[in-house]
Amino acid sequence: MEDAYRKYRFSAISIKKEVAVRFRAFSRLVSDSHTQTLEAIMNFFEWNDLHPHDDLGLKNNRTNKRINAVIAILKNIEKYQTLPTKAMLDTLFHEMSQVEEKEAEEAVDFGPPDTFTRDRELEQYRERYEAMQQQLGHQNNQVRQLLAQLVYVKGTFGKGHYRLDMDKNELEQFKKQLHDVHHDHRPEG
């Protein structure tokens, strides 16, 4: 660390002792050296196009009025929009619970459930298995076709890479097919 400071030339600045003590304490919180702290402070003001004596409007009357106006708007929204909507939803849910209680009292009999024989159940599983096998074979063929369109490109300054020799429309259609297959596993009924 000392070697880094030896190559710099330092200059002294005279400031009041109370300010120097305050700056040293602040500097310990911000960075490793007083130079870096002072540089960071100056950069902050320059980058944000500020002056230390600029009034940012945080403690003036105009800002307080704006904050009070925002609070009034929020109270107005709560009073005239949120609370009536909540009351309507509460009423709706109360009525829905009464309807559900009535429906529970009037239990509907759907009759005995359809029973599957063991052979019918196995047949259904076999049909689904064959359909999925066919779909898997189709997907394998599509992946093989995609891999056949990869072309190795040797890098000029490093490792080579693979380039997909396919136009944008073909790629979008391939993506759509993959998306459709992913969402096509619904049970048949």
Quote the domain boundaries for residue 27: 17-54
- Assigned domain for 108 exists: no
- Assigned domain for 84 exists: no
- Assigned domain for 46 exists: yes
Mean pLDDT of 51-63: 72
User: Is residue 107 predicted with pLDDT exceeding 60?
Assistant: yes
**Residues linked to residue 161 through DSSP beta bridges, in sequence order:** 153
Q: What is the pLDDT of residue 188?
A: 53
pTM of the predicted model, to two decimals?
0.33
Tens digit of each residue's pLDDT (9 = 90 or more) over 125-182: 889 999 999 988 888 888 888 888 888 888 888 788 888 888 888 888 888 877 776 5
- Assigned domain for 26 exists: yes
- Assigned domain for 22 exists: yes
DSSP for residue 35: H
- Assigned domain for 188 exists: no
Mean pLDDT of 40-65: 79
Sequence-separated (6 or more) residues with CB below 8 Å from residue 164: 146, 149, 150, 151, 171
Q: What is the pLDDT of residue 189?
A: 46
Instruction: Tell me the C-alpha distance between 143 and 163, whole Å.
Output: 15
Question: DSSP letters along 118-173, please?
Answer: HHHHHHHHHHHHHHHHHHHHHHHHHHHHHHHTEEEE--SSS--EEEE---HHHHHH
- Assigned domain for 34 exists: yes
The number of folded domains in the chain is 1
- Assigned domain for 30 exists: yes
Query: For residues 106 and 44, which has the higher predicted lDDT (pLDDT)?
Result: 44
